[in-house]
Every structure is written in C-alpha cells, then in structure tokens.
C-alpha cells in the first residue's frame, strides 16, 4: 500500500514533464491551428484546476473537521439551506463559463473559415478502409498515404469518404474533422516548420482502424513545387533512365498483377493507394518499416491480409502467381518509384 | 386466487411469475450484476491486449467485438438494470406504497430487458458479436458489419422497450401512489431523481427506438435511410442516437446522485442542504440533457453556429451540477460524519465525479474538442463520470440498502478494503488516459505501434485494471462472507426515510398500514419531533395484492422468437413470434384478474415479530 | 385500501347526477363546435394548397400554423388535456413537444450538407 | 386516494374511468406513453423532412400525392375522432349500448381510412414504381406513414377486442378505463395525422 502511494505522485510528475511523441501530440502544437486549440485547452484547464482546488479544499476540510469522533453522540443542527451561498455558487460558475465560452466561439468561427486565399493550397482528402488518398486539384495529381504540403502555406482541406466514416487527425497541426460519406467537410491548417507529422484515423472504421495512419510531410515551397510537378509529369510507361533490367522486369509484373488497383503516374486503377512516389514513403501501408532486405514489403504483397487484416487488398500472391524472382524484380521496381530525387 | 393458493407456489414458479416490485428489483440486480461481471471481464481482456504495444493477444476483429459489447453491456445491460433494481425495490418503500402502479408491466419490463440482453449476447455464438462500437455509427454498422449488428439492433430494441415500460411505471407510481402527506416537495431525493430519470427515459428511448428501427430496416429490409448513393444520410443516425444517447448519460447519473443524496444526509446526521435547489437542479439537468446532444458531433461538420450553440448549452450543465456538489459538501459541513463503506463511496464520489465533470466542460469547448474527440481523453472522461457517479452510486447503494433488501449487513472492513482497492485501480487505469488522448492515441484502437510515447502509460493503465478486478472480487466475497450478519432491527443506519420504518425482513405487502407523512425526512421527523413511530393513515385491515403472471415471460419470449426470425430472414418464425406476443396480450386483456387479499390475521402475526 | 369486498367487475348502473348531465349536454355542444373548427381548419389548409392563387412561400408556413392550431384544439377539446387532474399529462405532453422541436429541427437542418 | 373506494357499487361516478386507483394509474400512464409517442413520431417526422428531397431519381412527393384521396382519408379519421368522443359521452351518461355503438362506428371509419391507405400504398408501388427500397425518400415516406398506419391497425384491433370482450358485461370500473384509454389512443392517431397530411402531403404538393 505504502509503495503505491509513493508511485502515484511519481507517475504524475512523469506525465507532466513529457508532452508525448514529437509531431504526434496535441500538447506540442506545431502550427497556428493546433496552437490556438492548445491555448483553449490550457485556458479551460486553468479554470478547471481553480474549480477543483476550491472544491477539494472544502471537501478535505469538511471530511477532517466534521468526522465522527469516538463517543460523540450529538445531533447536528438540521440546516435547511442558505440563499446567499446558493446564489454565490450559481453565479460564479456562470462567470467562469462565460470566460471560457467567448474565446471558444471566436476560435470555432476562425477554424471554420475556409475561404481560399491567393496563396492557399487546396487538398482533397478521401478516406478509404484503411488508407488515405490526397488529391491536389490545382495540380491534377493524386498521392496515397503521404500528404506533401508546402510550409507556411494555408492548406484548405476538403474531407470525403468512400465507404464508412473516418476522421482526419494530425494532432500536432490541427484537431480532427470527420470524413463522412455523402458529405464534404472543410478544415484548414498551416505548418510553419518542415517536418513529418503523424496523422491518424480517429473514428472506428473497421478491423484495421488502428493501422490507418498517414503522414503529413511539410517541405519548403520550392521542394513542394518540384514534388508536385514531378508527380504530375510522371509517365507510367516510361522508366527512369538509370533503371536496371530487373526493374523493367518488375514493371512487367506490376502491369500484370497490380495495375488494376494501383496507379503509377497517370496509369492504373484507383482502388488502392497511388504508388507514384512509393519509395519515398515513410512507412509501408501506413505502419510497416522499410527494412534492409525488404521482408516487410515482401510479406505484405504476398499476403497482405495476414499483415494488415481486413484491408481492401483481398488478393494474395503466393509463389505460383508471383515467383520469388518476379517478386524481387517487383520490389526493385517499386523501390525505384520516386519523384523527388529525379533531378 | 386466494391467499392460501398464493402461498403454495413453488419457489421457482413464484420468481418466474412474480409481480412483486421487491422480487423484480432483486432480479434486476442479479441480472445486472451478471452482465456487469461479463462486461468487466471484457474490459480486462481489452486492457490485457493494450498492456503492451503491437500485442497479438486478441485479433483486431475480436477486439472490436469486445469493445462494442463492453460498452453495450455496461450501459444497457448492467448500469441501467442495476439502477432499476434499486429504483424498483426502494422507491415504493420511500413513498410509502404497497407496490408500483403497474405490477404486471413491471414484470414485463424486466423480462423484456433480460430476453433482449440474452439475445444480444447470443451473437457471440451465432456468427460474431457486433463490432461497430456501442454507438454503431452507420454506414459501418449498416452495410459494413456482419450478422452481429442484427442481434444488436433487435436485442436492444426489445430491452429498450422494457426500459420504456419501466420508466412510465416509475412515473405513475411516484405521482399516484405516494402515501398521504407526502407532497412532491417532501419526497426523498432518490425518488425525485428516479422521477426525473424516468422522464428522461420516456422522452429519450423513443428516439433510440426510431434509430434502431431505421437501422433494422436498412439491414434487413433493404431501405435506404443510410445509403448515400440512394439519397440517404448517415448523420441522421448520429442525431437520433445522441438525442437518446445524451439523456442516457443522465439516466445513469441522476439515480446515482439520488443515492448519494440519501447516503450523505444519513451518515452526516444532517438534513440535505438546499433541498429545493437540489430538486430544481435535478430538473434543470434533465432539461439540459435534451438540448446538448450535438456536442458528441462537433467534428461531423454541422457548422460553426451549431457547434457554438451546443457548446454553450453544454457548458451550462455545469451550473446545476455544481450546485449539487456544493449542496452535498454543505450537507456534510457541520454534520457528524460516520465513515461507513456506503459513506466512503459517497465521499469518494465527489472528487472523482468533479474530475469527470471538469473534463466534461473541457470537452464542451468545441474548438478544443476537435483535439479531444474520439481519443482516450474522452474514454477517460466518461469513465470518470460513469464510474465516479453510477458505479460508486451502485456500490454505495448496495452497502446502504443491503440490510433492507437481503436482511443482512455487509462486512464493513472488507467493504472498505474493496472500495479503496477499487478506487486506486480506477484512478491508475483512467487518469493516465487523459494524457494518452492528448498524446495522439485515438480511442477504439485494437492495438498500437511502439515508439509513439504511449507504452508506459498504457502499462500503468492496464495494471490499474487488475486492482479494479481484485476489488470487485472482494465485493463478491463480501456478499457471501457477510450472510451471517443478520439484521433484525430494520433500521441499521438510524435512517431518515420511510423505507427504514419497515421490519426486517421486508414483508411482501411492505407497510402493514399505509404511513402518514408529516414532513420531509418522515422517519427522522417522527424520531426527533414525535414518538419515533410513524403514524398510520388507515386502520389495520386485509391487504389487496395483485396475482402473479407468467404472461410477461411469454410476451418477452415471443419477441425473442420474432427477433430470431428477423435476423435469419425466416418470416414464418418472425410471424410465429408476433403471434405469441399478441396471443399473450390478448389473454391478458380478456382475462380479468382482481388479485387476492392477505387476511388481517397474517399481518398481525408479522407485526408481532417486530 | 378498504376496497375489500367491492367487485370491480360488477356493472355500474343508475343515472349520472343532475350536475353531470348538465355538463354532458354542454360537452356535446363543445365537441361539435370543436369538430366543426377542425373541419374548417383542415379545409382551409387543403384549399390554400389546391388553389394556385396562394404562393407556396405563404401557404407552407400558413398551413403549418393551421396544423399547430388544430392539434392544440384537439388536445384540449377532444382529449380534455386541460381538465382538472390532468396537470401531469399536460406538463408531460408539452415537455415532449419541447424535446421534439429541436429534434425535428436538427434532423431537418443539421445534416452536414449545409454548414450552419 | 382512499376516498374513491367508498364509491357505492351501483352508482355511476361522473368519471368512471378514473374512479379506481387502477383506473387513475392506467389513465395517467397512458398519457405519459403518448408523451413518448410524441418524441417517436417527431423522430420519424424529422427523418422524413431530412430525406424528403432525396428521391435518387425516383418519383418525388409532387409526382405522387393526390389531394382528393388525402382529403377523404382526413375526413374519415377526423369524424372517427368525433364518434369516439360521443362514445365516451354515452359512457358517462350510463348509456352502455351507446358506448358500444359509437365505438363500432369509430372502428368502421378507421377501417375505411386503413382501406384507403392500403390502396394508396398499392397505387404508389404499382403505378408509380415507388417501392420501399426505391430511394431514401420512399423509405422515409413509407416508414413514417406506415408507422401511423400500424398505429391505426393496432387501435382498431384493440377496440374490437374490447368491444367483443365487453359486449355483454355492461359498464364496470375495470372496463371504463380501458375504453377511455382506447379513445385517447385513437385521438392521438388523429393528432399525428394532422401533421402527416400537413407536412407530408400538403407540403409535398405545395413545394
């Protein structure tokens, strides 16, 4: 018992000291929207801590002062109430709440203001079970899983969903909005610093809900322009100049088995994520590390259901469909798919 | 039926056919405790899975089923029935009534709840449990989930019907059956809170009924309410669900507030502070309960005006709730606080619930809620509220009313050990979850990847769950260990209200003579202003009792059969079930049943025992 | 409860009191007036939609208002909501209306299609 | 509450439906149930209003609804409300035969209403190809109006059971509240219909 009591304050200190993982925590905001929300969180927290201090002080005092002592048998005075006191503890909370309500209403309207400005960038985010599609209508390009944005630019986001309800959340940049089928939702954020911000799906959307992560990659505007124009210019049929023979063979495998669902450049289906810049992904399928000998990628292509159960890629590619050799070629091809390191 | 015949029934048949509010109350408690245990085991399984990152103890699909059923069971099949158990048993006693207004419907309500609850749980064995969360947002629940959702929607429809019937029954009981002299403003606060909670049930459950009806139509009959391609709209579901769902929170909390409002004055030996304010605060909370539901939908995209309006309305609830908290504190102020286990529950309720309440206000800040929503912050918040109020209320109520209901007192030492262990576990489990949410952990995740800064706190959280489980075990042990502590006075706590004027064990007719109420806290008034004995409002005479009936079980069974028919699209079975229902209702309506009388000699015999 | 021995299934016989009879005569009149009013309101509603002379922008709120009036009329005349001893039903029905209005408004307007 | 039990067995109380505690309970409980029904129908109305323009290319309100049919249905139901009022007045006068007769008239009018409604649904399904699954609008329309129709059906069945069961017993303290609550239910059905003909039919045709 004693040990426990010592553990409790210790864990509290640990909690307050850290703010969680960088670029994933709402307590470590990295952009104006998240900062504004953070300041609201702190404002409400201060008011609430004040309330708690008041209540807890009275509470502790009462419990100690008026506890039954041995031998005490007096009957306390049967008080009915006290008008003044009751008015006081009605009015003070109302004032406190007003202090919270006014800035909240202002922020709510600020965050809902999604009028495009001259230099704002529009991104259309469509959520699927269980991956993310980012369309840049001004550039005519579609990317999967990684959302590239220029720094210091207002990003206006339109949220849509293709199947069930999802929720688009990048804690370090902005609070979430839902991707609702049949409805378009709007939000905006801005990233002043370059960096990779982790995004999550926050609404229970099925079996692999917990693996529906994505990345927001903020790069300087020049790099973004390069990225976007290379994405747009990417011609599916044309292989990169330095592509080896193996990669060419891999492209054939891709055209045979993958292209119905996955697009590279302007060619291919859109049932699965667009793979144009596949090798520049932070992770595979939203969560898998790129390992030295590509075991993760290999396992995912062979039988994705065993790696990420419930995902939409419900075909397996055992060895009689894609031989080991073909698989190596395919991986070589995929790992060559990039848009940023072309120049 | 005569009195002699009524006495001859076998024990089992007696319980199956009983319309006695006390027996029905006990059945509610037993069934609720059973489901509570199941729901608790599910919670432990979930915490075991989340103890370490990337754990593969439970597959994601199963995890989603468990999390759905944990919520569903705890809300619909554990918390509400347990509260209904206390309401059933205690409210008629507190208002000096022999029974509820509709004994037959009371029994029907219980059996509907039980059959509905069993039906939902059968899904585990018949193709998988529902997996779309207890909120079951469409279209995940309508077109992307398996047969479990059919069981969910039909089972809860049946048990919801039972709840609605129960709500109406309490309302009429409280309005029409009060003993002479007990005006509305002399009613004990538990009865008042039951009354307001019943109003909430009456107006909230029909919205859920419609929600489940639409979901059932979409799933089973191919309608298009939630099919976007055919013009449907998925937000309709969320509105209907939360028009019910938010009042539901108060349906759970208010009766618990009522329990604390009985325990705190009793063990502080002081009248409740600000009775009138308490009553109006209760009504205000009930009213606000219906005006704030869209705060569950801040991120759905209703627009800034809607969000602002609902945010401010939500914050307003903090005012009447605050009034209540201060009234409880001031009730203890100047009192002589005897720290029994029941009082310990009430005392620990205040800080726990205040913490849940302040995070509630934080969640009401709509712009900040975009960060909180659907994260572990919310999970922490509602567990602080529901465990802090409802569960502590249930435990407190159990320790307080146990001698009344079962004729023996629970062991105090074991009781205190239980509640301390339980609360340590509770705060360990849920306090860190506030931070987990802010650190980016969404709720309802089947697992999580390592290296996101969540590992340590999840470990703490899961360890806490073990303490909670251990505490609960102590409670169960206590029930059996204490059986020898027979309680014979009928008034073990120096009670203030009418239920303590009855001899122990409680006779089936409750009051030999209908009591005459002369003030609020009727018993206390007689103890300190009168001669300590409650006045009788009528001469001693034969007592009229309603006959038991097997029809409630038959009706509930009929709906159960019908639900099976619907799930498997076998219309003949569904029709047969419906036929059973209407047949039993027909019998009920055609057969006039005037009950029987307990002769006055039997009553004097009982009275002699006091 | 001293109703022991009284059989509730025994038929009630005899005449109502003079006072009751007088009240019932008045009641018939009230009910017929209520019925005629209801017919009148209904007909106006139908006519204002059927006739092309009345623009929809006026007709829609107008017939909605007529419906509200008729419902109140039916509640208080046909269903005697205002009678003595009906305070609780009265309060409960209006509470239900208070709950119903925001629910209907939300289901009509707050569907995410138009942002408010 | 005790004073009501001193009522003489053979006299006719002014409000026989509320003369016993059971009757009072039933009366009040039934009103509360109607309060719940208000919210139930409000939810259905709200859903209908939210979806009434979502015809998904299928027929919409202005293609379907006919004023004449709705007007006749409205008149039938309105009149049945009056006849059920007359039934209760007969009951209070001690005229049991009158009670039964007016209730039968109510049932017949209700059956007439139901007949037209069935014809209407049949007409929409067959001649306008508006099935239950045609569009979100059709689902909402059939569910709202169908729920009302189900209430009418249940009401008719309930009253018929009462009429047959108590055909020969005369008025008693047990059946008076039953007849009374049945008429309350019937009036409530009428009240809901007022909103249905306004919100669904008239607003559907008018724009």
CATH label of the domain that carries residue A107: 2.60.40.420
Which ranges in B290-375 belong to alpha helices (H)? 304-316, 318-332, 341-364, 366-372
Both A266 and A117 in one domain: the answer is no
Q: What pLDDT, on a 0 to 100 scale, did the predictor assign at position B608?
A: 45
Q: Average pLDDT over chain A, rounded to whole?
A: 85
Q: Is the pLDDT of residue A248 over 60?
A: yes
Both A203 and A265 in one domain: the answer is no
Both C101 and C72 in one domain: the answer is no
Q: Is B213 left (phi over 0), alpha (psi -120 to 50) or beta?
A: alpha
Window 488-527 of B: residues touching A by CB (8 A cutoff) are none
> What residues of chain B lie within 8 A of the CB of D165, using their CB?
589-590
Both C72 and C111 in one domain: the answer is no
Q: What pLDDT, on a 0 to 100 scale, did the predictor assign at position D7?
A: 43
Is B296 part of the contact surface with chain C (CB cutoff 8 Å)?
no
Q: Residue ranges per domain, chain D?
A: 16-206
Within a domain: residue A102? yes
Q: Which of C110, C113, C115, C116 to mutate to test binding with chain B, by most B CBs within 10 Å of its CB?
A: C110
Both C33 and C79 in one domain: the answer is yes
User: Are C116 and B303 a contacting pair, CB within 8 Å?
Assistant: yes
ipTM: 0.92
Domain that holds residue A254: 245-335
Both A38 and A137 in one domain: the answer is yes
Both A301 and A250 in one domain: the answer is yes
Is B291 part of the contact surface with chain C (CB cutoff 8 Å)?
yes
Q: What pLDDT, on a 0 to 100 scale, did the predictor assign at position A3?
A: 55
Selection from A257, A258, A284, A253 nearest residue A272 by Cα: A258
Selection from A193, D201, D65, A178 nearest residue B301 by Cα: A178
Of D37, D56, D161, the CB nearest to B206: D37
Both A202 and A260 in one domain: the answer is no
Both C49 and C78 in one domain: the answer is yes
Within a domain: residue C32? yes
Topology of domain D16-206, per CATH? Answer: 1.20.120
Q: Is the pLDDT of residue A293 over 70?
A: yes
CATH label of the domain that carries residue B348: 1.20.210.10
Strand partners, A191: none
Q: How far is C111 from chain A (nearest CA, A)?
A: 9
Q: How far is B591 from chain D (nearest CA, A)?
A: 9
Window 529-588 of B: residues touching A by CB (8 A cutoff) are none
Within a domain: residue A147? yes
Of B101, B236, B586, the CB nearest to D25: B101
Query: What is the pLDDT tens value at each position of chain C, 116 positions in all?
Result: 344 445 677 788 778 888 888 888 888 898 999 999 999 999 988 888 888 778 878 888 888 898 999 999 888 888 888 888 888 999 999 999 999 999 999 999 888 888 88
Both A33 and A159 in one domain: the answer is yes
Both A216 and A276 in one domain: the answer is no
Q: How far is C61 from chain B (nearest CA, A)?
A: 23
Q: What pLDDT, on a 0 to 100 scale, did the predictor assign at position A240?
A: 61
Q: What pLDDT, on a 0 to 100 scale, did the predictor assign at position B151?
A: 95
Contacts C–D by Cβ distance under 8 A: 186
Selection from A308, A334, A304 nearest residue A318 by Cα: A304
Q: What pLDDT, on a 0 to 100 scale, did the predictor assign at position D116?
A: 94
Within a domain: residue C2? no
Q: Which residue of C has its CA nearest to A180?
A: C112
Report pLDDT digits (tens) over D31-69. 999 999 999 999 999 999 999 988 888 888 888 888 889
Cis link prior to A130 (omega < 30° from 0)?
A: yes
CA distance linking residue A144 with residue A155, whole number of Å: 17
Tell whether pTM > 0.95.
no
Domain count, chain A: 2
> What residues of chain B lie within 8 A of the CB of C96, using their CB?
202-203
Is C51 part of the contact surface with chain B (CB cutoff 8 Å)?
no
Residue ending a domain, choose from A176, A205, A220: A220
* Helical axes B103-122 vs B21-50, angle rounded to 10°: 20
Within a domain: residue B545? no
Domain that holds residue B245: 3-539+552-606
CB contact under 8 A, B203 and C113: no
Q: Which residues of chain D have pLDDT under 70?
A: 1-10, 207
Q: Which of A108, A181, A288 to mutate to test binding with chain B, by most B CBs within 10 Å of its CB?
A: A108
CA distance linking residue D159 with residue D162, whole number of Å: 5
Q: Which residue of A has its CA nearest to C110?
A: A183
Is B203 part of the contact surface with chain C (CB cutoff 8 Å)?
yes
The three-class DSSP label of residue C12 is coil
Domain that holds residue C107: 86-116
Domain count, chain C: 2
CB contact under 8 A, A112 and C113: no
Q: How far is D51 from chain C (nearest CA, A)?
A: 8
Both A277 and A211 in one domain: the answer is no
Q: Which residue of C has its CA nearest to D181?
A: C79
CB contact under 8 A, C112 and A112: no
Q: What tokens appear for D155 in the block?
A: 């009401």
Q: Average pLDDT over chain D, rounded to whole?
A: 89
Q: What tokens appear for C54 in the block?
A: 């009345």
Report pLDDT digits (tens) over A129-143. 889 999 999 888 888
User: Are C21 and D93 a contacting pair, CB within 8 Å?
Assistant: yes
Higher-pLDDT residue of B14 and A240 is B14
Is C112 part of the contact surface with chain A (CB cutoff 8 Å)?
yes
Q: Is the pLDDT of residue A15 over 70?
A: no
Contacts B–D by Cβ distance under 8 A: 119
Band of the pLDDT at A4, cuts 50, 70, 90? low
Within a domain: residue C8? no
Selection from B544, B447, B493 nearest residue B343 by Cα: B493
Q: Which residue of D has its CA nearest to B219?
A: D133
> What residues of chain C lie within 8 A of the CB of D34, using their CB?
89, 93
Both C33 and C57 in one domain: the answer is yes
Of D12, D45, D207, the CB nearest to C16: D12
Q: How far is B165 from chain A (nearest CA, A)?
A: 33
Domain count, chain B: 1
Q: Which residues of chain B have pLDDT under 50?
A: 608-610
Residues in chain A, overall count: 343
Q: Containing H/E element for B221?
A: helix B189-221
């Amino acid at each position: 018992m004693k040990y426990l009591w010592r553990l409790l304050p210790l864990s509290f200190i640990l909690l307050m000291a850290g703010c969680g993982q960088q670029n994933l925590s709402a307590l470590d905001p990295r952009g104006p929207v998240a900062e504004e929300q953070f300041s609201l969180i702190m404002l409400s927290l201060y008011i609430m801590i004040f309330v708690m201090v008041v209540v807890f002080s009275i509470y502790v005092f009462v419990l100690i002062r008026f506890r039954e002592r041995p031998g005490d048998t007096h009957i306390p005075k049967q008080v009915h109430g006290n008008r003044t006191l009751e008015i006081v503890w009605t009015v003070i909370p109302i004032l406190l709440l007003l202090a919270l309500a006014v800035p909240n209403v202002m922020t709510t309207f600020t965050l809902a203001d999604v009028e495009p400005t001259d230099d704002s960038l529009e991104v259309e985010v469509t959520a699927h079970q269980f991956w993310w599609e980012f369309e840049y209508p001004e550039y005519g390009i579609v990317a999967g899983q990684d959302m590239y944005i220029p720094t210091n630019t207002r990003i206006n986001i339109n949220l849509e969903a293709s199947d069930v309800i999802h929720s688009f959340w990048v804690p370090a940049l902005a609070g979430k909005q839902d991707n609702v089928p049949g409805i378009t939702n709007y939000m905006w954020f801005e990233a002043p610093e370059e960096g990779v911000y982790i995004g999550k799906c926050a609404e229970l959307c099925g079996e692999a809900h917990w693996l529906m992560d994505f990345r927001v990659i903020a790069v300087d505007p020049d790099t973004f322009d390069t990225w976007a124009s290379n994405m747009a210019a990417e011609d599916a049929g044309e292989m990169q100049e330095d592509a080896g023979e193996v990669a060419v063979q891999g492209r054939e495998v891709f055209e045979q088995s993958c292209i119905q669902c996955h697009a590279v450049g302007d060619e291919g289906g859109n049932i699965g994520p667009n793979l144009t810049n596949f090798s520049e992904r932070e992770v595979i399928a939203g969560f898998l590390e790129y390992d030295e000998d590509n075991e993760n990628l290999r396992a995912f292509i062979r039988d994705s259901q065993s790696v990420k159960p419930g995902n939409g890629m419900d075909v397996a590619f055992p060895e009689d469909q894609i031989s080991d050799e073909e698989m190596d070629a395919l991986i070589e091809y995929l790992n060559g798919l990039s848009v940023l390191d072309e120049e | 039926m005569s009195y002699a015949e009524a006495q001859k029934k076998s024990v089992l048949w007696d319980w199956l056919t009983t319309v006695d509010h006390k027996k029905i109350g006990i059945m509610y408690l037993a069934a609720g405790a059973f489901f509570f245990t199941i729901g608790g085991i599910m919670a432990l399984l979930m915490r075991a899975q989340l103890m370490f990152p990337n754990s593969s103890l439970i597959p994601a699909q199963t995890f989603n089923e468990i999390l759905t059923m944990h919520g569903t069971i705890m809300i619909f099949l554990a918390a509400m029935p347990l509260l209904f158990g206390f309401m059933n048993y205690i409210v008629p006693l507190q208002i000096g009534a022999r029974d509820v207004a509709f004994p037959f419907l009371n029994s029907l309500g219980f059996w509907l709840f039980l059959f509905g609850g069993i039906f939902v749980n059968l899904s585990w064995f018949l193709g998988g449990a529902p997996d779309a969360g207890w909120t079951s947002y469409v279209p995940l629940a309508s077109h992307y989930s398996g047969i479990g959702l059919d069981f969910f929607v039909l089972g809860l429809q049946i048990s919801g019907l039972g709840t609605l019937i129960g709500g109406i029954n309490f309302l009429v009981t409280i309005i029409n059956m009060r003993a002479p002299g007990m005006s509305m403003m002399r009613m004990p606060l538990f009865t008042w809170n039951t009354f307001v909670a019943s109003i909430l049930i009456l107006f909230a459950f029909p919205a859920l009924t419609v929600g489940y009806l639409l979901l059932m139509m979409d799933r089973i009959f191919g309608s298009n309410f939630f099919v976007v391609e055919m013009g449907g709209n998925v937000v309709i579901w969320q509105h209907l669900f939360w028009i019910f769902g938010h009042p539901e929170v108060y349906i759970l909390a208010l009766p618990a507030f009522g329990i604390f409002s009985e325990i705190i004055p009793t063990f502080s030996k002081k009248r409740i502070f600000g009775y009138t304010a308490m009553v109006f605060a209760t009504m205000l909370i009930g009213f606000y309960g219906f005006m704030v539901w869209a705060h569950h939908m801040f991120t759905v995209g209703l627009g800034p005006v809607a969000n602002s309006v609902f945010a401010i309305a939500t914050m307003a609830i903090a005012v009447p709730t605050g009034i209540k908290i201060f009234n409880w504190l001031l009730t203890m102020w100047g009192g002589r606080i005897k720290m029994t286990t029941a009082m310990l529950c009430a005392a620990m309720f205040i800080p726990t619930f205040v913490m849940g309440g302040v995070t509630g206000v934080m969640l009401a800040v709509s712009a900040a809620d975009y960060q909180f929503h659907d994260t572990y912050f919310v999970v922490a918040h509602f567990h602080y509220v529901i465990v802090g109020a409802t569960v502590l209320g249930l435990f407190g109520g159990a320790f307080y009313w146990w001698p009344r209901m079962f004729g023996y007192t629970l062991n105090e030492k074991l009781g205190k050990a239980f509640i301390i262990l339980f609360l340590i576990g509770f705060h360990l489990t849920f306090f860190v979850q506030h931070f987990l949410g802010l650190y980016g952990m969404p709720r309802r995740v089947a697992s999580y990847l390592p290296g996101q800064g969540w590992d340590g706190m999840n470990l703490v959280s899961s360890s806490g769950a073990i303490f909670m489980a251990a505490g609960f075990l102590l409670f169960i042990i206590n029930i059996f260990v204490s059986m020898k502590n027979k309680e014979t006075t009928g008034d073990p706590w120096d009670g203030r209200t009418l239920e303590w004027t009855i001899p122990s064990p409680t006779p089936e007719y409750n009051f030999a003579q209908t009591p005459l109420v002369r003030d609020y806290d009727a018993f206390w008034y007689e103890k300190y202003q009168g001669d300590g004995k409650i006045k009788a409002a009528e001469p001693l005479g034969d007592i009229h009792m309603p006959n038991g009936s097997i029809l409630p079980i038959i009706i509930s069974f009929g709906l159960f059969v019908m639900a099976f028919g619907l799930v498997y699209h076998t219309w003949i079975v569904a029709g047969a079930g419906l036929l059973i229902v209407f047949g039993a209702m027909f019998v009920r309506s055609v057969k006039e049943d005037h009950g029987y009388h307990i002769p006055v000699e039997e009553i004097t015999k009982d009275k002699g025992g006091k | 409860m001293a109703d022991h021995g009284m059989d509730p299934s025994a038929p009630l016989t005899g005449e109502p009191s003079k006072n009751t009879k007088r009240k019932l005569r008045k009641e018939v009149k009230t009910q017929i007036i209520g019925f005629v009013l209801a017919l009148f309101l209904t007909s106006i509603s139908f006519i204002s939609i059927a006739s092309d002379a009345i623009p929809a922008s006026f007709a829609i709120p107008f017939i909605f208002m007529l419906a509200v009036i008729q419902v109140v009329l039916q509640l208080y005349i046909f269903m005697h909501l205002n009678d003595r001893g009906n305070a609780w039903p009265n309060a409960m029905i209006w509470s239900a209306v208070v709950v119903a209005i925001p629910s209907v408004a939300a289901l009509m307007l707050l569907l995410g299609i138009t942002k408010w | 509450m005790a004073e009501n039990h001193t009522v003489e067995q053979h006299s006719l109380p002014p409000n026989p439906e509320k003369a016993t505690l059971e009757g009072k309970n039933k009366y009040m409980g039934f009103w509360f149930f109607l309060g719940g029904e208000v919210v139930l129908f409000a939810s259905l109305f709200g859903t209908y209003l939210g979806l009434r323009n979502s015809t998904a290319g299928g027929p919409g309100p202005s293609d379907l609804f006919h004023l004449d049919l709705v007007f006749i249905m409205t008149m039938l139901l309105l009149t049945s409300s009056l006849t059920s009022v007359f039934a209760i007045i007969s009951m209070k006068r001690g005229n049991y035969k009158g009670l039964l007769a007016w209730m039968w008239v109510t049932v017949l009018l209700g059956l007439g209403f139901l007949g037209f409604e069935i014809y209407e649904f049949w007409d929409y399904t067959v001649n306008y190809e508006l099935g239950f699954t045609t569009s979100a609008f059709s689902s909402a329309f059939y569910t709202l109006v169908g729920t009302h129709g189900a209430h009418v059906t249940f009401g008719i069945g309930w009253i018929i059971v009462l009429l047959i069961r108590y055909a020969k017993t005369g008025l008693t303290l047990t059946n008076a509240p039953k007849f009374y609550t049945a008429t309350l239910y019937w009036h409530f059905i009428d009240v809901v219909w007022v909103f249905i003909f306004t919100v669904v039919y008239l607003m559907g045709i008018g724009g």
